[in-house]
Amino acid sequence: MGAKTLAWILPLILAQPMVAEAQVALPGVRLPGGTLQNLPLSTERTLSGLSNDLDPRRLEDLRLLHVRDLIRTHRREVEADPNGAPILRGEVVAFSPTDTALERARGAGFNVARERVLGGLASSGLDARLVVLQAPRGMSTRRALERLRGLDPDGAYDFNHLYTDSGVVGKAGPAALRATEPSAQTVGGASNGGRADVAGRADAAVKVGLVDGGVDTTHAVFRDIVIHQHGCSGTPVPAPHGTAVASLMIGRSPQFHGAAPGSELYSADVYCGLATGGAVDAVADALAWLVRERVPVINVSLVGPPNVMLENVVRMVIARGHVIVAAVGNDGPAAPPLYPASYPDVVGVTAVDAHQRALLEACRGKQVKFSAPGADMSAANPAQSYAVVRGTSFASPIVAGLLAEALSQPDRAAAQRAVSDLEAHAIDLGAPGPDPIYGFGLVGGDLRPELALVGRRSN
Per-residue pLDDT tens over the stretch 168-193: 887 644 444 444 433 333 322 333 34
pLDDT at 27 over 90: no
How many other C-beta atoms are found inside a 10 Å radius of the C-beta of residue 324? 25
C-alpha distance from residue 322 to each of 36, 347, 373, 415 (Å): 37, 11, 24, 7
C-alpha distance from residue 9 to each of 6, 75, 84, 259 (Å): 5, 16, 9, 45
Segment 131-135 shows an average pLDDT of: 98
pLDDT at 195: 43
pLDDT at 30 over 90: no
pLDDT at 455: 78
Q: What residue ranges in 218-277 does DSSP mark as E strands?
A: 227-230, 252-253, 256-257, 264-269
pLDDT at 76: 95
Query: Dihedral (C-alpha) 173, 175, 178, 179: value to the nearest 10 degrees?
Result: -110
pLDDT band per the 50, 70, 90 thresholds, residue 53: low
State how far the Cα of 59 lies from the Cα of 269, in Å rounded to an integer.
24
User: In this prediction, what percent of the chain has a pLDDT beyond 90?
Assistant: 71
pLDDT at 13: 37
pLDDT at 356 over 70: yes
Global pTM value: 0.84
pLDDT at 3: 44
pLDDT at 17 over 90: no
pLDDT tens for each residue of 385-420: 999 999 999 999 999 999 999 999 999 999 999 999
pLDDT at 122: 67
| Helices assigned H by DSSP within 113-217 | 141-151, 174-178
Query: Which residues does residue 230 pair with via DSSP β-bridges, in sequence order?
Result: 268
Segment 305-321 shows an average pLDDT of: 96
Backbone angle region of 328, left / alpha / beta, with phi > 0 → left and psi within -120 to 50 → alpha? alpha
Among 289, 177, 277, CA closest to 230: 289
Domains of the chain from N-terminus onward: 3-80 (no CATH), 86-161 (3.30.70.260), 164-453 (3.40.50.200)
State how far the Cα of 256 lies from the Cα of 450, in Å rounded to an integer.
8
pLDDT at 190: 32
pLDDT at 267 over 90: yes
Segment 81-85 shows an average pLDDT of: 95
Q: Kindly tell me the sign of the dihedral angle through the C-alpha atoms of 424, 429, 431, 434.
A: negative
pLDDT at 408: 92
Query: Which residues does residue 87 pair with via DSSP β-bridges, in sequence order?
Result: 79, 161
Segment 272-300 shows an average pLDDT of: 96
Residue with the bigger pLDDT between 214 and 10: it is 214
Residue with the bigger pLDDT between 183 and 103: it is 103
C-alpha distance from residue 378 to each of 184, 395, 426 (Å): 21, 12, 23
Among 270, 212, 276, CA closest to 245: 212
pLDDT at 114: 95
Angle between helices 3-14 and 56-73 (to 10 degrees): 60
3-state secondary structure of 129: strand
pLDDT at 44: 36
Report residue 221: phi and psi, to 5°: -70, -10
pLDDT at 203: 45
State how far the Cα of 335 lies from the Cα of 134, in Å rounded to an integer.
32
pLDDT at 376: 94
Query: Dihedral (C-alpha) 114, 117, 121, 127: value to the nearest 10 degrees?
Result: 130
State how far the Cα of 191 lies from the Cα of 197, in Å rounded to an integer.
12
State how far the Cα of 150 lies from the Cα of 152, in Å rounded to an integer.
5
pLDDT at 54: 59
Segment 19-45 shows an average pLDDT of: 33
* Contact call for residues 258 and 250 (beta carbons, < 8 A): yes
